[in-house]
Amino acid sequence: MDVKIEESWKKRLTEEFEKDYFISLTQFVREEYRMRQVFPPGNRIFNAFDLCPFDTVKAVIIGQDPYHNVGQAHGLCFSVTEGTVFPPSLVNIFKELNRDLGITMPRSGNLERWAKQGVLLLNAILTVRAHQALSHQNKGWEKFTDAAINALNRDREGIVFMLWGNYALQKGASIDTTRHLVLKTVHPSPLSASRGFFGCSHFSMCNDFLRSKGFEPIDW
């Protein structure tokens, strides 16, 4: 199957594209886009991979599924398109960035600037029906994104995995902590941010680790 995804990722994940689950997933997703309103736009489904090639990944942030309101999702977890009102979790991410590194609230919630520096902003589920959170859960995306995480875990060293909330913690449970830095805290949602996300200092800890490995830090 010819999947339109960045070439270095295609090489790493090519076996997944021929598996039964991925063929079934592709059929499901095509039908959903044909019959319903689905996010992100079809050409942005693999945006996280396209903006962050395999060998450039320095850090990974794991989300659950795309924003499901009009004009928000564009294939990067927690990120929104230019000019879109910041969702509450993204507001809290920027608040922690300000507390941790003194970075003022940006004008844009588009995190492509992070992706282009090596931050893989990966949702576990890559598509969603409009206004129906988790509507594409258990269709196969989770297996696919597990394969991506496993490839990084196995074939790279010195990556920072930032796991926020129970879902991300479960998703990253098998990461080899002798080869990578795993940072864990609660989700930045308003429901939980005050229980540990605020004050976690993940952004400065990520950069300190990258520097210790001889890598350029992320300009958050």
3-state SS assignment for residue 134: coil
**Residue 146 among the catalytic residues:** no
Give the pLDDT confidence score for residue 2 in this predicted structure: 79
Cα–Cα distances (Å) from 123 to 25, 80, 87, 97, in that order, read: 16, 13, 16, 21
- Examine the pLDDT at 195 and tell me if it is beyond 80: yes
Query: 11: Cβ–Cβ under 8 A, 6 or more apart, which residues?
Result: 54
Average pLDDT, integer, range 136-147: 98
Q: Which residues pair with 163 in a beta bridge?
A: 184
* 141 neighbors 124 (Cβ within 8 angstroms): yes
- Of the candidates 2, 20, 50, 65, the residue annotated as catalytic is 65
- Examine the pLDDT at 1 and tell me if it is beyond 90: no
- Examine the pLDDT at 191 and tell me if it is beyond 90: yes
- Rounded Cα distance between 46 and 100, Å, is 30
Give the pLDDT confidence score for residue 196 in this predicted structure: 97
Average pLDDT, integer, range 135-161: 98
pLDDT tens figures, 57-67: 999 999 999 99
Question: What tokens appear for 75 in the block?
Answer: 């294939």
- Rounded Cα distance between 218 and 206, Å, is 8
Give the pLDDT confidence score for residue 65 in this predicted structure: 95
Give the pLDDT confidence score for residue 131 in this predicted structure: 97
Give the pLDDT confidence score for residue 210 in this predicted structure: 98
Give the pLDDT confidence score for residue 114 in this predicted structure: 98
Give the pLDDT confidence score for residue 124 in this predicted structure: 96
Average pLDDT, integer, range 169-198: 96
pLDDT tens figures, 76-127: 999 999 999 999 999 999 999 999 999 999 999 999 999 999 999 999 999 9
